[in-house]
C-alpha cells in the first residue's frame, strides 16, 4: 500500500490515491481470513495514514512474498523512486526463478489515470496493472485479476462476466419494482 508523497494526489483530487489505498486495506481486512497490510513507507496506525516520503515498493513486495501468500495486491500510482523500478525487478526475478508456475498471483491496482498514456501507469511487465478508480470496485477487479495476470483462461472470464451481468440485471429488476 503506497502512502508516499505522490499518493497525496492532484489539486483536483486531493489525497484520492491515499484514500483508495486505505479503503482497499479496510475492505480486505474485513473480507479476508488472513490479511497483512504492508505500507510504504511503514506506518504503525493506518487510520492515521498521511502521504509522506519516497516510494519503496520493492522492499514491501519482498516482505509480502516472504509470507508465501496466494495473492499480492499492490495499490500504488505506479511511480516508484526508492529504488526506481525496484518492484518491477523483484517481480521479474520472482516470476522467472522462484515462481514460474504462477502459484502466487501479483496484481498492481492503480487508483490514478495516467493522462499521457490514457491508462493507469504500470510498474512493470511481471506486475499486471488494473485501474481501480474507487475502492468499492475492488472485488470486481479481483474477479479480473487471474485473467489479467494470465493464469485464467478466457472461458473463465466469460463465465465471470456473465455472472456479474446477471447479478446487475437482477439488482436493477429489484430496484424497478
Segment holding 158, helix H or strand E: helix 154-176
The whole-model pTM stands at 0.85
- Reading the block at residue 15, the C-alpha cell is 489525497
In this prediction, residue 176 carries a pLDDT of 57
Q: What is the pLDDT of residues 43-64, one digit of tens each?
A: 999 999 988 888 999 999 999 9
Measure Cα distances from 84 to 53, 127, 165 in Å: 14, 15, 40
Report domain extents, the chain: 5-152
29 and 138 in contact (C-beta within 8 Å)?
Answer: no
Give the C-alpha separation, 28 to 112, whole Å. Answer: 20
In this prediction, residue 111 carries a pLDDT of 92
Segment holding 87, helix H or strand E: helix 86-93
76 and 91 in contact (C-beta within 8 Å)?
Answer: no
87 and 38 in contact (C-beta within 8 Å)?
Answer: no
What's the pLDDT band for 34 if we cut at 50, 70, 90?
Answer: very high
In this prediction, residue 172 carries a pLDDT of 63
Give the C-alpha separation, 24 to 153, whole Å. Answer: 26
Q: What is the pLDDT of residues 64-92, one digit of tens each?
A: 999 999 999 999 999 888 888 999 999 99
In this prediction, residue 40 carries a pLDDT of 92
Q: Is 56 exposed, middle or buried (0-12, 13-18, 19+ CB in 10 A)?
A: buried
In this prediction, residue 12 carries a pLDDT of 61
31 and 126 in contact (C-beta within 8 Å)?
Answer: no
Question: Rounded mean pLDDT of the chain?
Answer: 88
Strands 113-114 and 119-120: antiparallel
Amino acid at each position: 500500500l503506497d502512502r508516499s508523497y505522490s499518493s497525496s494526489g492532484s489539486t483536483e483530487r486531493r489525497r484520492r490515491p491515499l484514500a483508495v489505498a486505505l479503503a482497499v486495506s479496510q475492505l480486505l481486512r474485513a473480507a479476508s481470513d488472513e490479511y497483512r497490510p504492508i505500507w510504504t513507507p511503514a506506518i504503525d496506525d493506518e487510520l492515521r495514514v498521511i502521504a509522506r516520503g519516497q516510494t519503496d515498493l520493492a522492499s514491501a513486495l519482498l516482505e509480502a512474498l516472504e509470507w508465501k501468500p496466494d495473492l499480492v495486491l499492490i495499490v500504488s500510482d505506479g511511480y516508484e523512486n526508492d529504488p526506481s523500478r525496484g518492484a518491477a525487478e523483484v517481480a521479474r526475478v520472482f516470476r522467472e526463478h522462484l515462481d514460474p508456475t504462477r502459484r502466487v498471483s501479483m496484481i498492481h491496482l492503480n487508483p490514478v489515470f495516467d493522462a499521457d498514456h490514457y491508462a493507469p501507469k504500470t510498474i512493470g511487465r511481471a506486475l499486471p496493472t488494473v485501474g481501480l478508480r474507487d475502492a468499492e470496485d475492488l472485488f470486481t477487479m479481483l474477479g479480473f485479476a487471474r485473467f489479467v495476470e494470465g493464469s485464467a483462461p478466457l472461458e473463465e472470464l466469460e463465465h465471470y462476466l456473465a455472472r456479474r451481468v446477471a447479478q446487475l440485471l437482477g439488482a436493477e429488476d429489484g430496484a424497478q419494482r
